[in-house]
Amino acid sequence: MRVLVLTGAGVSAESGIPTFRGKDGYWRNLDPTKLATPEAFARDPQLVWDWYRERRERIRNARPNAAHEAIARLARATDEFLLVTQNVDDLHARAGIPAERMVRIHGDIFVTRCSRCDFSYAGRGGSPEPPGACAVQPTYGRLRSIAATFEKDADLPRCPECHALARPGVVWFGEQLSRNELERVEDFLDGGACDVVIVAGTTATFGYIIDWALRASQDGAGLIEVNPEETPLSRFATRLVREPAAIALPRIVDELAN
Ligand SMILES: [Zn+2]
Backbone angles phi and psi of 156, in degrees to 5: -90, 115
Question: How far is ligand 1, taken at its centre, from the CA of residue 150, in Å?
Answer: 13
Backbone angles phi and psi of 107, in degrees to 5: 95, -165
Question: How far is ligand 1, taken at its centre, from the CA of residue 182, in Å?
Answer: 24
Out of 176-190, 197-211, 223-237, least confident range: 197-211
Average confidence (pLDDT) over 13-40 = 84
Has residue 229 got a pLDDT over 70? yes
Q: Is the alpha carbon torsion for 113, 118, 119, 120 positive or negative? A: positive
In single-letter form, the type of residue at position 90 comes to D
174-198 pLDDT, tens digit per residue, is 999 999 999 999 999 999 999 999 9
Average confidence (pLDDT) over 195-219 = 89
Quickly state the pLDDT bin for 154 (edges 50, 70, 90). low
Question: How far is ligand 1, taken at its centre, from the CA of residue 114, in Å?
Answer: 5
Quickly state the pLDDT bin for 105 (edges 50, 70, 90). very high
Has residue 130 got a pLDDT over 60? no
Distances (CA, A) of 140 to 2, 48, 137, 145: 42, 29, 8, 9
Average confidence (pLDDT) over 74-93 = 96
The answer, as to whether pTM is greater than 0.85, is yes
Maximum average pLDDT range among 28-32, 55-59, 237-241? 237-241
pLDDT of residue 133: 44
Average confidence (pLDDT) over 101-110 = 95
Mean pLDDT of the chain: 87
Backbone angles phi and psi of 27, in degrees to 5: -135, 125
| More confident site: 22 or 46 | 46
Name the pairing type of β-strands 196-200 and 102-104.
unpaired
Question: How far is ligand 1, taken at its centre, from the CA of residue 157, in Å?
Answer: 11
Please say if 68 is a catalytic residue.
no
pLDDT of residue 147: 63
Q: Which of 153, 121, 117, 116 is nearest to 42 (CA)?
A: 116
Question: How far is ligand 1, taken at its centre, from the CA of residue 199, in Å?
Answer: 37
Average confidence (pLDDT) over 103-118 = 93
Quickly state the pLDDT bin for 32 (edges 50, 70, 90). confident
Catalytic residue among 68, 92, 106, 163: 106
